[in-house]
Amino acid sequence: MTQKNHKDFNRVLTRIDVLVLAFGAMIGWGWVVLTNEWILSAGSFGAMLAFLLGGILVVFVGLTYAELTTVFPKTGGAYFFLKETLGKRFAFIVSWALLLGYISVVAFEAVALPTVVEYIFPDYQFGYMWTLAGWDVYISWAAVGIIGSIVITFINWIGVKQAAFLQLTLTILLVAVGLLLAFGSFIGGSAENMKPFLAGGIGGLMTVLIMTPFLFVGFDVIPQVAEEMNIPMKAIGKILILSVGFAAMWYILIILSVSLGLSPDQLENTKLATADAMAVVFGSPIFAKILILGGIAGIITSWNAFIIGASRIMFAMAEEGVLPKWFGKIHPKYKTPGNAILFIGFLSTLSPLLGRPALVWFVDAGGLAIVVAYFFVACAFLYLRKTQPDLHRPFQAGKSSIVGWVALLLSIGFILLYMPGMPSALVWPYEWAITLIWWIIGFYFLFKIPGNIKTDYKGAISDEQSTPFNQ
């Protein structure tokens, strides 16, 4: 990428902006709807242990990202990790995988928003359109997601600082609601409700553990905005790992709070365990509505972060000539990759028309793509450690390569979980169709890339070299 691109983007993101961007991306809607499943599967302590272990595992992947981000501080993140190590075609593969993962999250949130509103206003559906996978789609239901998509897309289109302010505001609301639940559970809950502490044995623990990498996805948005940060390079790695730590603490706190607030029988018969726990510990259904507002904030923070991440990947790929140049246009006034944002916004605007079953389709198809990307990033990390051990690294993930090997093995393990024959395999036809269609389109662009040319990268941008951009 040329020096010109440093001038095209506004370097306006502070340490807090970047931390909140990643944390908000990881804390979406899952904590509201899945907490009872985690506790019932593994028990209260078992579920918390799964998230503690999952957080540790994700830290290994995050460390590879952290080091490579400071070596290649360019918009597009993983694309340049692979381009500068294994070549342009591998760079395309990892970026195309991340794009599916990120766009799947964006589409997921556009479907999740009307799903949440339905809990608050259960009778707002009218205007039947069609039935998909046994679920009736109504125009009023879809309109909530469509309008939300248009608003989020517009905010991102007019500037990353505006998007970051939205992220900060909603994350504060999200955290306040979560802390309110915790406070109420500690005061009005009961330790007896936490029994059984362990359930389902090793199988129960694994059931929750395999969900954690995908609930933690979001820290990898940080590399996508490397050229919009107004912070020293060496701080990026620390912020990335800190965001994973905060997310792990958040999930553990929510599990503890719900375990204290609801008995096992109540957990068995709840649709939204966190909302019901909030109502029980405070003795009023009004507090359940307050928690739903926190859930909506979680949807929007994740939605917002992944539009930012996906649009920056598309911009980088267009700049590199592996996607049409149209996606690489920077808006002359707002200094954002406006065309890429509009394209992703268009896709998310259509997704509510698929109805609620699309939630699972997007999560599963996108989850596989993201773990594939993790695998290739670990490969890039190990390749660079082997071929250029003395390369300047503003943030270094340990002196040995053990971090990369652990990330690589974990990625392979999770990829296998999606394959046919496994209990968590992708579902045919919907989830495999999304995956296959995406990669058929991707192979069209991949085969147009001439050779697998890679750059001999000579060194990272040091903090001193990057200072002019950080002022």
Phi/psi of residue 395, each to 5°? Answer: -125, 125
Cα–Cα distance, 218 to 209 (Å, whole number): 17
Q: Confirm if 61 and 372 have CB atoms less than 8 A apart.
A: no
Q: Confirm if 25 and 221 have CB atoms less than 8 A apart.
A: yes
Supply the CATH classification number for the domain 16-452. 1.20.1740.10
CA-based radius of gyration for the chain: 22
End-to-end CA distance of the chain: 21
Stated length of the chain: 471
Q: Confirm if 454 and 92 have CB atoms less than 8 A apart.
A: no
φ/ψ region of 218 (left if φ > 0, alpha if ψ in -120 to 50, else beta) reads left
pLDDT of residue 1: 39
- The pLDDT tens digits of the residues spanning 6-61 come to 446 667 777 888 888 788 778 877 788 778 888 988 888 999 998 998 888 788 88
pLDDT of residue 96: 92
* Single-letter amino acid code for the residue at 459: G
DSSP β-bridge partners for residue 131: 136
Read off the tokens for 409: 């093995």
pLDDT of residue 459: 47
Which 3 state secondary structure label does DSSP give 138?
strand
DSSP β-bridge partners for residue 276: none
- The pLDDT tens digits of the residues spanning 251-283 come to 999 999 999 988 888 888 887 788 889 999 998
Read off the tokens for 334: 């707002």
Domain ranges of the chain: 16-452
Per the listing, tokens 């989020």 go with 152
Taking CA atoms, 42 is separated from 47, 195, 208, 270, 352, in Å, by 5, 11, 7, 17, 33
264: exposed, middle or buried (C-beta count within 10 Å: 0-12, 13-18, 19+)? middle
pLDDT of residue 168: 79
Read off the tokens for 34: 């899945």
Phi/psi of residue 229, each to 5°? Answer: -95, 140
Secondary structure of 438-462 in HEC code, one letter for each residue: HHHHHHHHHCCCCCCCCCCCCCCCC
Percent of the chain having pLDDT more than 70? Answer: 89
- Give residues with Cβ within 8 angstroms of 341, minimum separation 6: 153, 156, 157, 307, 311
Q: Confirm if 336 and 156 have CB atoms less than 8 A apart.
A: yes
Of the candidates 258, 286, 270, 267, the one whose C-alpha atom is nearest the C-alpha of residue 120 is 286
pLDDT of residue 453: 52
pLDDT of residue 376: 93
For the chain, list residues with pLDDT below 70: 1-10, 159-163, 214, 224-226, 334, 359-360, 423-424, 451-471
- Give residues with Cβ within 8 angstroms of 215, minimum separation 6: 26, 28, 30, 54, 251
Residue by residue, DSSP assigns 383-416 as HHHHH-TTS--SS-S-SSSHHHHHHHHHHHHHHH
Read off the tokens for 321: 């000539």
Taking CA atoms, 225 is separated from 231, 312, 345, in Å, by 12, 7, 18
**H helices, E strands: number in the chain:** 20, 2
